[in-house]
Chains A and B, each alone.
Chain A
């Protein structure tokens, strides 16, 4: 992912890729008209930007310089790492400021600077230690598991929590990222996730199916729900040019209200309860957890595996398939793509449907996984909007999305423990996430703060989508 000196778009070897596409066009894409092949090369030009100059020199020299370059110049990795670092520093300051004991100590800072700083350090260190213990592992439970005082499942519980929070974010992150690459800003992942959750849950409790088949059908239902919801926005964009940002925002509201209405209707509402909650999803439709382990403690389920597979699929789709090439071409320059004979409207619809299906799966995770088993008004939490930040942090790339979803999942899981054990409000975690994204969105800030030199070419992209 380093891409030293890489351009703003992932097309490192434009020519090679166009070559590949031309071959594919000739053999397996009969829908594309014959002129598509040479025009595909044209369309790839704007996507690729200015190709990097071939560096000269021996391989080791080149490698060494590349590594040094990538550390000292403002490329995506350094900017991302430094943005996380700045966010943690800002978080530390806020931990100190929001701690009443420490703020009163700062009243006599110059009386005893050592004590005050040491106290501040210990508070911040304890908070971040709990963040780590809640997200990765707690040495106490690990040694406890070795000594036999507690079960191994407790030792793995933090990691499992992280992965449980990560799974839906991978899907919604991929959804937003894929739309970015197709040149669309899908703000509607939240609404698509809600419809996906509805689709998954309704199949989960109203369709009696055997083990195995049920969960697959429920997942398909979730994907179909999200795809349908996104199709509305995609079709409106393709047909009438209605802006997808506006349409998806409005569809978010429609989805939220639809969910609120649906859960109190007959057939969906749990008749044994009087509050606004749906029936429970059948056990047969639940995503399997690790067998033989108490799933109240180790909550991780198959969703995270599916998430990684989805990332793999999207990576393949974008980099290796004709469809992916067409989507990226349309995303990079719709006019050029149209000139090349590609159907821009068709690509918009397709990218939205795929994006919606992913977001729908993310919503499905919430009801088919271990976080909830019935629909409530807030069952999808905030995964759709978090997906936008995950996609931004992941730079719109499938594996970047997986990594940033993992970071967000870890922050959330650790934040729960930090709040519980160190009394630092969970909001701090969201603030840290927000600060990370602010700095990612404004790489010039990071460059200025750390006096990084600009990357050789391309540098850090600021605009991911050409939505406006």
Chain B
């Protein structure tokens, strides 16, 4: 029982990190049908800059702040320099964002050195506490709480505010809301920046969780995010949350019982979804096909 609860918490924590990465990906895709293969690059840049700030200043909060700022800045650069010139051409978009991903990944090695770095959680999140006879690791609980908070705030914005209404309408039919006088470019830019910031936050939170950071983890982690986007339905925010938890749990349990199969099981999940529900489990009505 102890083991199962720990695996569940582990899975939920991984799932939350994947969700932070995948939610930006899915909204950007839904809004502009741009599949940003460079998203994993923002993840590692968030992790490395955040960890750098955290380790030099000693303040974890400052580290998170720096990671988010990095995400916002890189989001603007990616959108303006990389995505906008090829807007409307799917093939070029896919090609160019992958190229940018590799440039981001290699620049990490130039700036921070090619070796992996060890990261430890801050003192106030280190260790564990015991409820009944079950041991909870503090940092994992922290990740789950942050993930839930982000989900709730973003859901609130998407459902209850005017901006959220515009974004949701944009996902359904972007031509229509342009005719209603909404400047979709501004909206898209903001969604891109927020998505990038979430990816960077995800990277920063992932660093003490896994204990080491290295440049290639961006591509590895973004593969999980792609699987989540496909399972959850491209463009669906809630779908990305549920699919991320599913993938995180599958990952955690398989990594414990059959470590060799942990990536395979997610591929199988994705394959089953592609066969039976190719639009994903939570298809967005009228969304990008």
Partners in one complex: no
Which residues of A are in contact with B by a Cβ distance under 8 Å? none
